[in-house]
């Protein structure tokens, strides 16, 4: 930070270095999020990040962080058809809103105390049976 309390050149360089360390698909998603954040409402922005409903294809989707009884931002909800799914792995949530991949991750010997191992869910052999 510079004397005015705003990010300075060194902060920008640090941030740039951090962004370069992200996977290519994450960098594309962040760039798209930045572009969308200046052009749409917060609700539209979040819907774009969550994506279309896997069941009906509607773009009217949101996370369930502020949905009473769920309170989980990793659960996607289609406003049009009511479908619930795990935003992280894409699996449908039929019986409850706790995705089965969380239990697999909790038991994984590669996971840190936080429950994360750093392996992309789509590339995890334990979750995908490969």
Residue 45, φ and ψ in degrees, nearest 5: -60, -50
What per-residue confidence (pLDDT) applies to 7? 44
Report pLDDT digits (tens) over 2-40: 455 544 445 455 665 676 676 777 777 777 777 766 656
What is the reported pLDDT for 38?
A: 65
Q: Report which of residues 66 and 9 the model is more confident about.
A: 66
Most confident of 35-39, 79-83, 124-128: 79-83
Spatial CB neighbours of 88, under 8 Å, sequence gap ≥ 6: 74, 99, 101, 121
Q: What is residue 85's predicted lDDT score, i.e. its pLDDT?
A: 94
Domain boundaries of the chain, sorted by first residue = 1-39, 50-96, 99-130
With beta carbons less than 8 A apart as the criterion, state whether 117 and 109 touch.
no
pLDDT band at residue 101 using 50, 70 and 90 as cut-offs: confident
Tell me how crowded residue 72 is: count the other CB atoms within 10 A of its CB.
16
Q: Which residue has the higher pLDDT, 20 or 54?
A: 54
pTM for the predicted model, two decimal places: 0.59
């Amino acid at each position: 930070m510079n004397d005015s309390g705003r990010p300075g050149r060194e902060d920008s360089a640090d941030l740039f270095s951090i962004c370069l360390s992200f996977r290519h698909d994450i960098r594309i998603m962040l760039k798209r999020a930045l572009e969308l954040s200046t052009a749409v409402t917060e609700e539209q922005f979040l819907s774009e990040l969550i994506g279309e409903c896997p069941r009906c294809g509607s773009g009217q989707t949101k996370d369930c962080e502020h949905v009473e009884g769920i309170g989980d931002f990793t659960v996607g909800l289609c406003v049009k058809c009511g479908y619930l799914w795990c935003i992280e792995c894409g699996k449908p949530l039929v019986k409850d809103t706790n995705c089965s991949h969380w239990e697999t991750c909790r038991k994984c010997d590669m996971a840190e105390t936080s429950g994360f191992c750093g392996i992309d869910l789509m590339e995890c052999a334990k979750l995908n049976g490969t």
